[in-house]
Amino acid sequence: MRNRNYTIILGTCLLGFLLQTLPLQSQQLPVSTHYTFNRYSLDPAFAGAYDDAAVYLNYRRDWGNISGSPKTFRLNGYGKVHDKMFLGGEIMADNTDIFNRVKVGLNYTYRLQMANDQFLSFAMGGNFYQSVIRLDQVNADHDDPLLKDLDRITGSNFNANFGLVYNWNHFHLGLGLPVLFRTKDAYNKGADAKFTFDRAFLMHISNRFTLDELWQLQLFGVFQKTNNLPAVIDISATAFYDDTYHFGLMYRNNNALVLGLGGELIDGFVIGYSYEMGFGGVYNGSGGAHEITVGYRITTKKITHFYDADARKKRTTPVRPVKPGPKPVEFNRR
């Protein structure tokens, strides 16, 4: 237990050091708040940490009162292919007004057991991006020589990602590179256009504490930084009740507050919803952001997102006393 506390303190100090030393400059890819229960969407190294296989469908709408505001669809999941190996992937479609981007990715995860209840997971993957700017939807003079006979700019990119997660029971500490390579920053006409991708860095730390027989509390911190873009920092607390339902609160460093809830409806089927509101700037009158996720999980593990076998062993269920039945009648045979 003492070693575990030292590990948690070390991880917290490391996260704090990075927040203080790295410049706070948003992400070139859409953000999400539902990694608190779909951790694979944050880092593919989480494959196998709780479940043998899982699939999730996610939809997010930002600034609902603004025309052309961002909308994102995600489908991701993974499955065990060997005792220590997992394969997974993600399909994402992101639309913001005239800009559209589609991502198709494939990931490989290897989960190594270091000691009792301690694991180190490595993940590597490749991603294909198709980006489009719809010039035919621009509110401009389409007879302009720059726009004439040109209805869109398209471009394709390949990139890679890497993730590393250390896990001890419900404690996790991870590092990752969601975008590993920086691409050429050139925009050209036609099919040869090159869309910029900058290297992105990710760090996250979390732990889940048992409060009593019914309640658990999960604390989560995430730092995401892309070169030449502002950092995204999330700090969240999520309460789990009866290993089934969760209620959460998150703060994001762009003056946003997120309220979330969800749970396991029936065995394996999960759902989550969150509403994000902000203060000042574009948030005024924007309508906030709505996000919903549905998923299905398959597991044989002792500890999952909504179930902790050790915690349930500690529960005491009162046993209803059994009323004694009538005494048997004795017959004396003569």
Q: What is the pLDDT of residues 99-154, one digit of tens each?
A: 899 999 999 999 999 998 899 999 999 999 998 888 777 766 666 666 666 777 88
Q: What per-residue confidence (pLDDT) applies to 287?
A: 79
- Confidence at 57, pLDDT banded by 50, 70, 90: very high
Structure tokens at 161: 């990602």
Q: What per-residue confidence (pLDDT) applies to 302?
A: 52
pLDDT in tens, 248-274: 999 999 889 999 999 998 888 999 999
Q: What pTM was computed for the model? A: 0.78
Which candidate, 66, 56, 57, places its Cα nearest to that of 97? 66
Residues 35/24, Cβ–Cβ less than 8 Å: no
For 172, counting Cβ atoms within 10 Å of its Cβ (0-12 exposed, 13-18 middle, 19+ buried), the class is buried
- Residue 283 CA to residue 294 CA, distance in Å, equals 27
On the question of pLDDT at 334 being above 90, the answer is no
- Residue 85 CA to residue 210 CA, distance in Å, equals 30
For 180, counting Cβ atoms within 10 Å of its Cβ (0-12 exposed, 13-18 middle, 19+ buried), the class is middle
Residue range 191-202: average pLDDT? Answer: 73
- Residue 105 CA to residue 25 CA, distance in Å, equals 27
Q: Which residues face 276 on adjacent strands?
A: 258, 289
The residue ranges of every structural domain in the chain are: 2-313
* Of 93-97, 133-137, 202-206, 218-222, minimum mean pLDDT range: 133-137
Q: What per-residue confidence (pLDDT) applies to 203?
A: 97
On the question of pLDDT at 305 being above 80, the answer is no
Q: What per-residue confidence (pLDDT) applies to 313?
A: 47
On the question of pLDDT at 40 being above 70, the answer is yes
Check if CATH label 3.40.1390.20 holds for domain 2-313.
Answer: no
Residue range 17-35: average pLDDT? Answer: 57
Angle at 206 between CA 180 and CA 296, to 5 degrees: 80
Instruction: Show the 3-state SS of 39-72.
Output: HHHCCHHHCCCCCCEEEEEEEEECCCCCCCCCEE
